[in-house]
Structure 1
């Protein structure tokens, strides 16, 4: 079912007679998740940039407004790249992919070799593979491990990434699932290798945990390479491909908002769903995403704890949107979905869908727990508040908008229908 709406479209079909309601929630959850994804990835660029600067200015005290200004510059650079550089996006994303792979290889080699070159000890096998470092106050190491899976869930990304450009690729019913599979294979292998290498390079964990720099990678790289210059270089290697990630996030959330708008699921749908005649892309929806991310950045100036919950909200909202598509698919006997190139036959499909639903529900609850105990206002996990509040807003908006909401439609970006509606 190729559609730029992704799970929004799928939930509308798998849920049968309740498809409009499930699709509505799935679409909004997914869109808001990608907004949080764009904001949090831009914030990562900002903290790494300021940390790289502070490496050579030990007396420099990083303020929130420093990170905010960097955030705004990076955010609008990526947003305008998507809005105005539509024809360059395939080349940019291809280049970003090469930079990611190249940067991964450079980082792994440098972090593996430099401790030996500098004649400094590696971390022992016990530290990397078996010793638990529980610094968050929970008594159960198993629960801490599950809570820490939030970082992995955020880093690997969402399986619906490629689906949001399904209407702009050839043979999407085959290539989109293949893209998702390749994404996770590459992500698993590279993330595992990267994590193992940098863990072996850490020689003082307390300095990493207590570093004054906003990005812990700066201290990790400094310990691994033994020099500030080496840490700075590896941070640059990390920052450059992250721009490609943010561009991808804007590409996805802009397409998702455009998909919702063309189905009258948003305020001012007649404006947001317009496709620019010259650039042939949903420019207005992309610019709206940029403005929303700017507002989210303003929150960081007032409260960095609330902004930190955006990472958890991204993971929880994406998984909720998947649950809105997979659970109805399972409950309806997997009967409402047309067979495509990849289809799990018989009991295997039910088992996989059942495990996926159970896993999603359990970890949504876990990811709403505070990162450490005891809890106060500054250490509270506001993910549950953000997710619950936004869900209440989505539900209220449904009762106002349901008469005009037409449900998902499948229209290609390059079609004459869109060209006509844009004029």
Structure 2
């Protein structure tokens, strides 16, 4: 196994690879101005990134595995209108991130943006904390996708044996198996990731259409339009009706979370300042539409809610399919389509997590950074970053042996960590009067302030909402431990920064055409970032523009 152990910074090592095409050269030159050497092959297209983002969100899979949340907290109104509401909010967040990404297209993503948008004084700490939130969010999203996928695979057995309930060790072993498959695809099929991401779009679209037609044609019992579009029942939750609706938004928010993760793929795309922002926004729009098309037929054929909530394995979608089709085989046929989406979701989430690990380690923010930031010359991927992400998730899966309730909190933690990490650069951009993005190629224009502030308000509310238990009264097994886990991870990042990292961590590199120690980094549009994370003099945008 041959691995490059360098940091990937332009000022620390020579360029390993130069593209023969003009587009590659321009993208690599733009990346060098942001302080990094291009180490990864630029073989992904905009459609591929769109497919990757779409895969990570995995709409039918995500909505299916979290269906119990909205069946408890409001049913039809929460399922349908909650989805529409969160889709619009997610579109605003994606647009806000896309605007910043068009100025700073690097694999560091929100971590890098936070540093470049901040002042010299605050850049290292803000970027370090945001980087850890992003990394934890990437790891826990991958964990929750693949673990719920393992549960869904085992739930298929109950289609034939209704008394079957998977044991803890069976569930963990299945989860490890899913993780192993996703890791192997990322290693041995790395050169086919572009094709895999594109296939995901067609598989998901075909699956939604097949499920829609099958359910509506085979159902013996159909709900009324009044039930689908206006029924609200939160009696199973114990929460007041209005609050139950907001607690139930976790289903949609968890599903519509991964769009920001694809920023970690910027260094594998040609013209990333144009293609990645477009992919972010289009993927959320496509996911929103897909969700509506998927949810409405399910609501029209929804069996008895209490029966679905009584499923021992906590995954009612298989029973729903079996009930509507009238056979275990028919139910499994539809469930197989969802499991196919799991393959794309788990693989894509692990891909993004490995790139996030690589980018953060490249700047020395992770213990053993030289190892985790290496790029394997045989597979052209950050192999050890991929291995670290896989091992961390497999170890976190062991928590299931101690407490199933504590493990379920990772769904909320993933949503909270990623949402918070998205909110930090948006907030800093607003506080700095949006100067860095006023000439962005993907610009929100005069609506920028309104969209940015709305997203920040939602993220603050979401952090509170997704720490709430799905139902009350609360017991030790039904408690939502997301707040505890999130606070623990956040506290560790802050404490470690002040104890150790602040002495050595200076944030992303800040270089210019004049050399690594002179001036500020120049972005791909000829602008210089407002603040310096590397100890350079802090300047306003007007002072730092290139004549």
Q: TM-score range by the shorter chain?
A: over 0.9
For residues 200 and 155 of structure 1, the distance between their equivalents in structure 2, rounded to whole angstroms, comes to 21
- Aligned equivalent of 1:164: 264
Residue 302 of structure 1, CA deviation: 2.3
- Aligned equivalent of 1:417: none
The superposition leaves residues 284-333 of structure 1 with CA deviations (integer Å, 9 ceiling, x where unpaired) of: 01100110111111111221111110000011001110121111111111
Q: Say whether 1:37 aligns with 2:141.
A: yes
Q: What is the SS of the residue equivalent to 1:240?
A: helix
Task: Write out aligned runs for 1:162-241 (5 A).
Answer: 162-241=262-341
TM-score between both structures, scaled by the size of structure 1: 0.92
- Aligned equivalent of 2:82: none
For residues 458 and 152 of structure 2, the distance between their equivalents in structure 1, rounded to whole angstroms, comes to 33
Contact 1:300 1:307 in 2 (8 A): yes
For residues 177 and 354 of structure 2, the distance between their equivalents in structure 1, rounded to whole angstroms, comes to 19
- Aligned equivalent of 2:16: none
TM-score between both structures, scaled by the size of structure 2: 0.72
The superposition leaves residues 174-194 of structure 1 with CA deviations (integer Å, 9 ceiling, x where unpaired) of: 111110111111100111111
Contact 1:202 1:223 in 2 (8 A): no
Return 5+ residue gaps in structure 1 as ranges.
Answer: 412-423
- Aligned equivalent of 1:90: 194
For residues 137 and 245 of structure 1, the distance between their equivalents in structure 2, rounded to whole angstroms, comes to 30
For residues 242 and 173 of structure 1, the distance between their equivalents in structure 2, rounded to whole angstroms, comes to 29
Residue 370 of structure 1, CA deviation: 1.6
- 1:352 corresponds to which of 441, 451, 462: 451
- 1:267 corresponds to which of 363, 367, 370: 367
Task: Write out aligned runs for 1:59-74 (5 A).
Answer: 59-74=163-178
Contact 2:172 2:400 in 1 (8 A): yes
For residues 247 and 203 of structure 1, the distance between their equivalents in structure 2, rounded to whole angstroms, comes to 32
For residues 458 and 171 of structure 2, the distance between their equivalents in structure 1, rounded to whole angstroms, comes to 36
The superposition leaves residues 88-122 of structure 1 with CA deviations (integer Å, 9 ceiling, x where unpaired) of: 2112222222211211111111112111xxxx120
Work out the number of aligned pairs and report it.
Answer: 406
The superposition leaves residues 233-259 of structure 1 with CA deviations (integer Å, 9 ceiling, x where unpaired) of: 111110012111111111111111111
For residues 4 and 391 of structure 1, the distance between their equivalents in structure 2, rounded to whole angstroms, comes to 22
- Aligned equivalent of 2:402: 302
- Aligned equivalent of 2:162: 58
Which stretch of structure 1 is more off in the superposition, 56-65 or 371-380?
Answer: 56-65
- Aligned equivalent of 2:94: none
- Aligned equivalent of 2:65: none
- Aligned equivalent of 2:508: 408
- 2:392 corresponds to which of 292, 297, 305: 292
Contact 2:437 2:443 in 1 (8 A): no
- 2:181 corresponds to which of 77, 92, 108: 77
Structure with the higher fraction of residues in helix conformation: 1
- Aligned equivalent of 1:368: 467
Which stretch of structure 1 is more off in the superposition, 124-133 or 307-316?
Answer: 124-133
For residues 480 and 375 of structure 2, the distance between their equivalents in structure 1, rounded to whole angstroms, comes to 39
For residues 4 and 23 of structure 1, the distance between their equivalents in structure 2, rounded to whole angstroms, comes to 14
For residues 151 and 158 of structure 2, the distance between their equivalents in structure 1, rounded to whole angstroms, comes to 10
Which stretch of structure 1 is more off in the superposition, 361-370 or 134-143?
Answer: 134-143
- 2:204 corresponds to which of 93, 100, 120: 100
Contact 1:23 1:324 in 2 (8 A): no
Q: What is the SS of the residue equivalent to 2:134?
A: helix
Q: What is the SS of the residue equivalent to 1:57?
A: coil
Contact 2:106 2:112 in 1 (8 A): yes
Task: Write out aligned runs for 1:6-21 (5 A).
Answer: 6-17=109-120, 18-21=122-125
Contact 2:237 2:244 in 1 (8 A): no
- Aligned equivalent of 1:377: 476
Contact 1:6 1:163 in 2 (8 A): yes
Contact 2:239 2:472 in 1 (8 A): no
The superposition leaves residues 379-420 of structure 1 with CA deviations (integer Å, 9 ceiling, x where unpaired) of: 111111011000010011212122322322499xxxxxxxxx
